[in-house]
Amino acid sequence: MTAILLSHRFHQASGVTLLARAAELGIKLEPIVLPAEQEARLDADACKRIEIAYFSQDLVPDFARQFFSACYKAEQLCWLHVFNAGSDHPVFGQMLERGVRVTTSSGANAAPVGVTAATGMLMLARGFPGWMAAQRRHAWEPVRGDSAPGDLRGQTLLLVGVGEIGKTMARIAQALGMHVIGVRRSSRQPEDPVDEMHPPAALDRLLPRAQWLALTCPLTDETRGMIDAGRLARLPQGARIVNVARGEIIDEQALIAALASGHLGGAYLDVFEQEPLPAESPLWDLPNVVLSPHNAAASSGNDERATAMFLRNLGSSARGEPMKNEITKGAGGKR
């Protein structure tokens, strides 16, 4: 019997399916269910039995601390699977240091995030911030002549990070007739929906070509602070930025300055250096900025996709095969 740590909500919604799937694989699971009260903790005997833990989406934000408190006390924990793609939180490094294998459901929310990123781009491209501001004032202010937005067809999107999220955005951009340049460490593959692929070292020479800079890369030592004042200055006048990666990838003060000065034409931002975004941040009031509260991934289908990935890894583990999306020490991730 293998004890698995689950949230009370996941156990209620999917526990029967999980146990049945495990039985098909020849695995007998003992559910260890977190208390439904935020301040409650599992007793020591239950924690000692835990060998597998599944960090499901319903644990965020109210029950995450409770869940990881149990993980820290689980001396026999050997595998932790998390619903999201992000692995840059210190807790994952601590688990790895203990010898716990950590896998993610990377890709489960790729389509929603990529679609949201493209939506932010379209809102900026079509001038929605101005129309929405006029709506709040009850003002009829059509754009005409020189103030009309330019066509996206023929514009260049520079995409830093061409994983599943980046690919989703790239496909939409290509369908709109944009020229897509990808930046990532691995070389271009035939299925990559980009017109060009370059290594990160080429970023400085690519920036002047981009009317759009989209960040869909993981937060790592290499990408932290990657878009600083110098690189923002290399973008052409009026260029716009989309960030659905991590706020720490951009120097936020430099971004605010570039937006306020008019060097940048706008930005769609889902992530920030400090979250929640402080009420006093100038980003709230800049007229050329669209914000969302780190919510680009929101979708009713994420749980089902994330759980399916966990079950596939459960099967791989039972058969002694490599598990998908296993992270290693020092790895960073998106969501």
296 DSSP assignment: T
* pLDDT under 50: residue ranges of the chain: 332-335
| Residue 138 a catalytic site member | no
Distance CA 269, CA 291 (A): 5
Q: How far apart are the first and last CA of the chain?
A: 32
Distance CA 295, CA 189 (A): 30
Strands 212-215 and 156-160: parallel
Tokens of 235: 């973008």
Summarize pLDDT for 127-175 with one digit per residue, the tens.
999 999 999 999 999 999 988 999 999 999 999 999 999 999 999 999 9
Contact 200, 222 (CB under 8 A): yes
Distance CA 112, CA 61 (A): 20
Distance CA 327, CA 332 (A): 8
The reported pLDDT for the residue numbered 39 is 87
For residue 138, give the amino acid letter.
Answer: H
Beta bridge partners of 196: 181
Whole-angstrom CA distances from 12 to 36, 39, 56, 147 are 11, 20, 12, 55
Phi/psi class of residue 48: alpha, beta or left (left: φ > 0; alpha: ψ in -120 to 50)? alpha
Q: How far is CA 23 from the centre of its chain?
A: 33
The reported pLDDT for the residue numbered 87 is 67
Phi first, then psi: give them for residue 253, nearest 5 degrees.
Answer: -65, -40
Contacts 24+ apart (CB under 8 A), 201-206: 203/160, 203/231, 204/231, 204/234, 206/158, 206/181
Task: Count the neighbouring beta carbons within 10 Å of the beta carbon of residue 299.
Answer: 16
Query: Which residue is it, tokens 């911030």?
Result: 129
Q: Which of 11, 246, 252, 335 is catalytic?
A: 246
| Residue 137 a catalytic site member | no
- Strand (E) or helix (H) holding 265: strand 264-269
Distance CA 45, CA 231 (A): 54
Q: Which of 24, 75, 275, 321 is catalytic?
A: 275
Whole-angstrom CA distances from 114 to 204, 206, 249 are 24, 22, 18
The reported pLDDT for the residue numbered 89 is 76
Q: How far is CA 125 from the centre of its chain?
A: 23
| Residue 275 a catalytic site member | yes
Tokens of 285: 């009031």
In 88-207, which ranges are continuous DSSP H helix?
90-97, 110-125, 128-137, 164-175, 203-206
